[in-house]
Amino acid sequence: MNKPLCILGLILVSLAGPAVAQPTFESPSPTQGSSTSQKANEMADKGLYKPVEYANASKPGPALIVIPGEVKSNNANFMQKFGPNNIADFAEIELTKANFKVLERSSLGHLLQEFQLAYNLGDPQSARKYLQKGKLKTTKWVIKFDVLKAEQVAQAQEGFSGRPIGALIGIFGGGRGGAAGDVVVSSVDTRESTGVWIIGMRWKIIDANTTEQVASGYTEEKMELGAKSSSVLGFSGGEAGGLTLDGMVQRLVQKNVWEIDSKHK
């Protein structure tokens, strides 16, 4: 090999420096690494954010704005947790990943608020007027995501208590064996409970020039929350978990953005 080229290669490698890995962090929990930690982390891993492969991500999409939609659920817990801005934030993230040109809402100031008010009041002429100003001029689509349903539709519970059976053993068993059986069986106590929610989300694409609806869609997902516990002779254990409302809303947004990317780009 040519010596000057070899020296140049070494210089370039040294200037590049070592590859920098993504930062990792350790858990400060005192139970980290224990059996309970492993179980809890296994459940939590299933709820982690998972990126979606959008079919047309290599194809640039049109300029658009995500306006806060509506949350029409009557469930107080959901309403306390979520507002339209939360959902719009998730939508901006996913639409950007799908290679749409998403205009930042915060940089549009009062124009977006005035457009949104005019649109929601059913005044397309005024809404169109605001779309001809500033950065809104380049907008092709206005997209909104609405939560139409968020309700717990099913709940099931079951459990076992050994006390009645232990009492019978104590009565009919007799002797030390019966007494021992009474103690063991009476100490058994198990409980299990599961609740299932259905959350539904609608999306709409609005033509920024005509304020007419271009396309729409709707999807639902089930969210399961569960807990179980057991106790035998003073030894107890329990598990509880499920997908959070944040995680469920983000998954619904991902499904809807996937549909928009696949069918309407």
Segments making up each domain of the chain, as ranges: 54-264
Q: For residue 220, give the nearest of 181, 252, 254, 179 by alpha carbon.
A: 252
Order of all β-strands in the sheet with 235-242: 101-102, 63-67, 141-161, 189-207, 213-232, 235-242
- Give me the percent of the chain exceeding a pLDDT of 70: 64
Q: According to the model, what pLDDT value does residue 263 have? A: 93
Q: According to the model, what pLDDT value does residue 228 have? A: 73
Q: Which has the higher per-residue pLDDT, 59 or 21?
A: 59
CB neighbours (10 Å) of residue 168?
A: 14
C-alpha 235/C-alpha 223 separation (Å) is 31
pLDDT digits (tens, 9 = 90+) for 147-162: 998 888 777 777 655 5
Q: What's the Cα-to-Cα distance from 8 to each of 5, 17, 19, 104, 121, rounded to whole Å?
A: 5, 15, 19, 44, 67
Given a cut of 60, whether residue 73 has pLDDT beyond it is yes
The top-scoring range by mean pLDDT among 72-81, 92-101, 115-124 is 92-101
Q: For residue 192, give the nearest of 150, 222, 233, 161 by alpha carbon.
A: 161
pLDDT digits (tens, 9 = 90+) for 183-220: 444 556 677 778 888 999 999 998 887 778 899 999 99
Given a cut of 60, whether residue 167 has pLDDT beyond it is no
Element at 149 (helix H, strand E): strand 141-161
Q: Which has the higher per-residue pLDDT, 84 or 118?
A: 84
- The residues, any chain, with a CB within 8 Å of residue 143's CB and separated by 6 or more, are 64, 65, 66, 67, 91, 95, 203, 204, 205, 206, 260
Whether the Cβ atoms of residue 61 and residue 265 lie closer than 8 Å to each other: yes
Given a cut of 70, whether residue 234 has pLDDT beyond it is no
Considering the entire predicted model, what is its pTM? 0.73
The CATH superfamily holding the domain 54-264 is ABC-type transport auxiliary lipoprotein component (3.40.50.10610)
- The residues, any chain, with a CB within 8 Å of residue 67's CB and separated by 6 or more, are 88, 105, 112, 115, 116, 119, 142, 143, 144
Given a cut of 90, whether residue 112 has pLDDT beyond it is no
Q: Which has the higher per-residue pLDDT, 209 or 63?
A: 63
Q: According to the model, what pLDDT value does residue 108 have? A: 66
Element at 232 (helix H, strand E): strand 213-232
DSSP secondary structure, 151-219, as one string: EEEEEEEEEEE-HHHHHHHHHHH-HHHHHHHHHHHHT-EEEEEEEEEEEEEEEEEEETTT--EEEEEEE
- The residues, any chain, with a CB within 8 Å of residue 80's CB and separated by 6 or more, are none
pLDDT digits (tens, 9 = 90+) for 13-42: 455 555 678 888 888 888 888 888 888 888
Place of tokens 């990317």: 261
